[in-house]
Chain A
Amino acid sequence: MASPYPRLLKVLSQRRLGGTLRLLVIERDSAFRAGQLLGLSLPQEGGGAPIAPRLYSIASGEEEDRWEILYSVEEEGLLTPRLSLLGADDTLIVEGPSGNFASGLTVATQAGPAAMPSARPPRGVLWVGGGTGIAPFVSLARSGRADGATLIHSASRPELFYATELFEGLLGQDYHRCCRRAPEGDARYFPGRATDFIAKAEGLGFERACYICGGSEFVVDTRAALLARGLPYSLIHAEVYF
């Protein structure tokens, strides 16, 4: 049973990925659905109440025996510089899992005011992730729920992409990487932002449910780009990092 309450869990490992990206692997003590979040926190240095928990999407699959958290070290942040120092057997404060994003439990399958929730799985969805906002889609893919999905992942530099092999294998031509600082002529990347890609893309299909995950400006701008392409707002769902 999921435990929403704060408790201490052990770090199993931590990997340094490209640039500021890190992958924190922690023990798992409860069930979760792909797309859910964990609240992570650490005690304050020098005592006092713990740092207010920050929410992170789980990046591992539903059947895996651990939780993986993809995050970016923010130089001036309260939490991530300290998270980046954790190693095996260290502990951190974990809340959740919680939330309900892109899980397909209730997906509006038609636009308009009469749209009713249905239990239909989210086939043919459009996923758009900004930076570490790729995490819930990694979890969905690793839970066997990427069938028919199209993924647009945007990052500022090539080294900040994650799970590229997984998505190349699963989605093939339906996996799009947008990178403003991609090496010139590298065909793997669209040389611009996700919003530029959405504005120009042909044949993406703007009549299906879309899930956006990332920072607030990324979400707001991406939503505006999708609306401009005619995707009904009732089919757009977002998870904002805050």
Chain B
Amino acid sequence: MSDIPASPPAPKRPAPSLPSLLGMEIADFGELAGQAGLPGFAAKQLAKWVYEKRIFDPLAMTDLPKQGRESLAALVSSGTHAPVKATESKDGTKKYLFTAEVQGSGAKTRSRFIEAAYIPDRDRATLCVSSQVGCKMGCLFCATGRQGFQGQLSAAEILNQVVSIPETASLSNIVFMGMGEPFDNLDSVLKVLRVLTSPWGFAWSPRRITVSTVGVLPGLRRFLDESECHLAVSLHSPFHDERSSLMPVESAYELPELVAMIRGFDFGRQRRISFEYILFEGLNDSIRHVNEIARLLNGVNCRFNLIAFHAIPDSPLKPAPRSRLEWFRDELNRKGFTATIRASRGEDILAACGLLSTKELSKAKAGESL
């Protein structure tokens, strides 16, 4: 593992009071154009500059009238800022650290840290983005859950993770599996998905984007209706008591309700639903679990990602051995599901699944400001 300088170097953060160009939708660009004294059709030009050409400085948008450009420059900030640190794993995974401005008490914003993981893999390059600073869900196995919740990320703060890493042009996939529960910040996440997939935006195929949830049902319902992106659900146990001891969300939104919602939705042929399943030794890795999963999801066209547990300090949970993951995969396959074992990436730089945390950095930052 090695620390590498983030490229380009971190600029001074823009004034947070100005709205960000990054994250604007076509209607927002229209409104902005009006404020800047530009004609309505300038909305499309603005979107093209920002999302197609990735030019975030209004003064450089040369097909707009000079006066309009100057007005725009006074009205908006770019919304982009480079990562403040990058760490590279021996397997090529890179973890990027960003600052994010989150709303504190009163009108003040506080600077906090978030992480994103860049995972190159043969013909794919996946970026795992964060949707919140910390997380409210409190899952027993997750380092982010241990740091508590420090704030929601705006659409611009989420998109910035995509556009401000050096590898941005080579990305093939984006997964919302970083810090936070995406469906607990759904307005921002849906906005990001619209920007990523709209023809006026980055025009990505929704099939290149996966949003992962622990099962926040109101958010899930909206996501299914308003987006075409793939869905991943953290399952980890098919039994209520066991799941609720791992994931407090089970107390509020029970698995049968979640499955009923999924069953009632037509995913079509292209949209994929997958279940994430971390295997803990002696806890959720038995034939009883395989059988209950098969009963619960009988007839649901889905796949399983089996994940090796990356132990966090003082955790009472133990990783299941590789042979158990293989056995579990084979048993699920025998039941007719497609199950694969997810390659563990970036464990040495704490970028692997469930290891992202900026708790210590946030504490240090808070200490500085005292």
Residues of A within 8 A of B (CB): 35, 37, 39, 52-53, 55, 75-76, 95, 98-102, 106-108, 112-113, 115, 117, 215-217, 219-220, 223-224, 227, 232-242
Contact B137–A216 (Cβ < 8 Å):
yes
- Which residue of chain A has the shortest Cβ distance to B186 in the bound complex? A52
Contact B251–A238 (Cβ < 8 Å):
yes
Residues of B within 8 A of A (CB): 103, 105-106, 135-138, 140, 145-146, 148-149, 181, 184, 186-187, 216, 218, 239-242, 244-245, 248-254, 257, 282-283, 286, 314, 316-317
Contact B218–A99 (Cβ < 8 Å):
no
| Sampled A-B contacts (22; CB under 8 Å) | A53-B218, A76-B103, A99-B254, A100-B250, A100-B251, A100-B254, A102-B251, A106-B241, A112-B282, A217-B149, A232-B316, A233-B140, A233-B245, A233-B316, A234-B242, A237-B245, A239-B251, A240-B136, A242-B136, A242-B137, A242-B149, A242-B181
Question: A39-B218, A115-B241, A117-B240 are known contacts. Are A220 and B138 too (CB-CB below 8 A)?
Answer: yes
- Give bound CA distance, A237 to B145, whole Å: 15
- Give bound CA distance, A239 to B218, whole Å: 17
Contact A216–B149 (Cβ < 8 Å):
yes
Partner of B241, one of A99, A108, A219, A240: A108
- Which residue of chain B has the shortest Cβ distance to A112 in the bound complex? B282
Using Cβ atoms and an 8 Å threshold, which residues of chain B touch A240?
136-138, 248-249, 251-252
- Give bound CA distance, A234 to B284, whole Å: 11
- Give bound CA distance, A54 to B316, whole Å: 31
Question: A75-B105, A99-B254, A220-B145 are known contacts. Are A237 and B316 too (CB-CB below 8 A)?
Answer: no
Interface majority SS on A: helix, strand, loop or mixed?
mixed
A192 to chain B minimum Cβ distance, whole angstroms, is 19
Contact A216–B136 (Cβ < 8 Å):
yes
Other than the given A239-B248, A240-B136, 16 more pairs (CB < 8 A) read: A53-B218, A76-B103, A98-B252, A98-B253, A100-B250, A102-B251, A117-B239, A117-B241, A216-B137, A217-B149, A219-B248, A224-B314, A227-B316, A237-B244, A239-B251, A242-B149
- Give bound CA distance, A234 to B135, whole Å: 22
Contact B106–A76 (Cβ < 8 Å):
yes
Question: A99-B253, A108-B245, A240-B249 are known contacts. Are A220 and B218 too (CB-CB below 8 A)?
Answer: no
Using Cβ atoms and an 8 Å threshold, which residues of chain A touch B240?
100, 106, 117
- Give bound CA distance, A107 to B239, whole Å: 11
Contact B186–A223 (Cβ < 8 Å):
no
- Which residue of chain A has the shortest Cβ distance to B216 in the bound complex? A242
- Give bound CA distance, A113 to B280, whole Å: 10
Contact B316–A37 (Cβ < 8 Å):
no
Using Cβ atoms and an 8 Å threshold, which residues of chain B touch A215?
136
Using Cβ atoms and an 8 Å threshold, which residues of chain B touch A37?
252
A124 to chain B minimum Cβ distance, whole angstroms, is 16
Using Cβ atoms and an 8 Å threshold, which residues of chain B touch A101?
244, 251-252
- Give bound CA distance, A235 to B282, whole Å: 15
- Give bound CA distance, A134 to B365, whole Å: 33
Contact B105–A76 (Cβ < 8 Å):
yes
Q: Which 6 A-B residue pairings sit nearest by Cβ, starting from the closest? A: A217-B148, A101-B251, A242-B136, A238-B248, A216-B136, A113-B282
Partner of A238, one of B138, B283, B286: B138
- Which residue of chain B has the shortest Cβ distance to A237 in the bound complex? B244
Using Cβ atoms and an 8 Å threshold, which residues of chain B touch A106?
240-241
Using Cβ atoms and an 8 Å threshold, which residues of chain A touch B181?
242
- Which residue of chain A has the shortest Cβ distance to B141 in the bound complex? A233
Contact A220–B148 (Cβ < 8 Å):
yes
B342 to chain A minimum Cβ distance, whole angstroms, is 23
- Which residue of chain A has the shortest Cβ distance to B145 in the bound complex? A220
- Which residue of chain B has the shortest Cβ distance to A211 in the bound complex? B251
Contact A216–B251 (Cβ < 8 Å):
no
Using Cβ atoms and an 8 Å threshold, which residues of chain A touch B137?
216, 240, 242
Using Cβ atoms and an 8 Å threshold, which residues of chain B touch A216?
135-138, 145, 148-149
- Give bound CA distance, A242 to B136, whole Å: 6
A58 to chain B minimum Cβ distance, whole angstroms, is 13
Using Cβ atoms and an 8 Å threshold, which residues of chain B touch A227?
314, 316
B258 to chain A minimum Cβ distance, whole angstroms, is 11
